[in-house]
Amino acid sequence: MVKAVLVAAVSSGQGKTTVTAALARKLVKLGRRVRVFKCGPDFIDPMLLERASGAPVRSLDLWMVGKELCGQQLAQAAAEADVILIEGVMGLYDGTPSSADLAREFGVPVMAVIDAGAMAQTAGALVHGLRDYGPVKMAGVIANRVASEGHAKMIASSLRDIPLFGTLPKQAKSLPERHLGLVLPGEVHDLDQLLDDLADQLVFDEAAWESLPPVHIGATAAPALPPLLAGKTIAIARDAAFMFLYPANLDTLRAMGATLKFFSPLANEAVPAHADAVYLPGGYPELHAEQLSQADNWTASIRALHAAGMPIVAECGGMMALADTLADQAGAVWRMAGLLPGAVAMQPRLAGLGSQGLETPQGILRGHTFHYSKLATEVAPATYTSKHPSAIQGEAWYRVGSLSASYFHAYFASNPAATAALLLRSVT
């Protein structure tokens, strides 16, 4: 038994991540063992929440991750922790499936975050609507951007039978953002101080928290995966330009018997010797395009391995780094590795977003897309992903020799057999 809440709001921009981080750090400072999850596809928020809680943050999504693996992850966290916090995605009922669907599936009550900066008693109407529309079990409310103690009292009285668990004042210094979301935690030099300040400023009713009934999450053991990659070494790019990958992807590769070796194209490191395949995850190559353009050792090694027929899987930023050129946000054009003929250019507006699936001979490999760039290429796509739930055509999937490349980010645990097939030389 463990105390668990799903932190949700009426929409994006209400302060879910800030409040979840503040609550996680507050509970850690109170001596609780805290595990945090992020609902829906996301790479950056989990990095911040990991810093706030001091423990790895995994993804929960009934479609991409699947009910069984979500349950396994929650059960493992319940066995190790006193508290589980799940940050929702977008608004509580947005998406198919939604954060509300996840909460109901596992019996987790909702902690509603409201931006109270421009409201008072209307908060009650908003929160009751969030509770009753689904309906969902409502644990309580944390009000963000509260101006004063009097303001907090007005909000509390409007909630009627729903408790106000905490308030957070408007922040003089917010978590910095860029085009794909929050700035990476490693780039914020005073992040831990900022998280401590958020925890200290969170006026939190500890007695109300302790009165929350525990949530029972049944133990489910993860099945052993077949050793489809036994004896294989997978070289994985990991640095400031290539860091968008799910921890579950690494777990899945290891569970299938692979040995993982990490390297840094930004540091001009060649692909590690004796690798059997290369995985280039997404990230921010556009922020490091000049440095990548000068990384001759990296470029020469990946070209040689491609010419030798080594399997290479490149997702989003990984694909961008393998095009002929990359135009950054300022319009400067930089030479890239040139395995995928074409030019990538950053766009001012979002170019792709949402859950998608790739049909393979082993079944559907699920994942998502989220990018601000576009690829202009004469290479004909080998296939396309399908958007979920509409089944409309999604991202192009390119095959150039042994290279598989797309804006699609795959969640390997959704189909380990399909993942293994991509990384084996037998793929044609």
CB 284 within 8 A of CB 240: yes
Distance CA 127, CA 147 (A): 19
Question: How, if at all, do strands 403-406 and 164-168 pair?
Answer: unpaired
Nearby residues of 89 by Cβ (< 8 Å), 6 or more positions away:
38, 39, 40, 42, 95, 99
Is there a catalytic annotation at residue 70?
Answer: no
Hey, how many other C-beta atoms are within 10 angstroms of the C-beta on 55? Answer: 17
CB 310 within 8 A of CB 353: no
Nearby residues of 210 by Cβ (< 8 Å), 6 or more positions away:
none
DSSP 162: S
CB 387 within 8 A of CB 355: yes
Question: How, if at all, do strands 352-360 and 312-315 pair?
Answer: unpaired
| Alpha helix ranges (H) inside 234-295 | 247-255, 289-293
Distance CA 303, CA 187 (A): 31
Catalytic residue among 36, 217, 316, 346: 316
DSSP 239: B
Q: At what angle do helices 67-80 and 99-106 cross, to 10 degrees?
A: 60
DSSP 403: E
The amino acid that residue 122 corresponds to is T
Work out the end-to-end distance of the chain between its first and last CA atoms, rounded to an integer number of angstroms.
Answer: 49
3-state DSSP assignment of residue 314: strand
Report the catalytic residues: 316
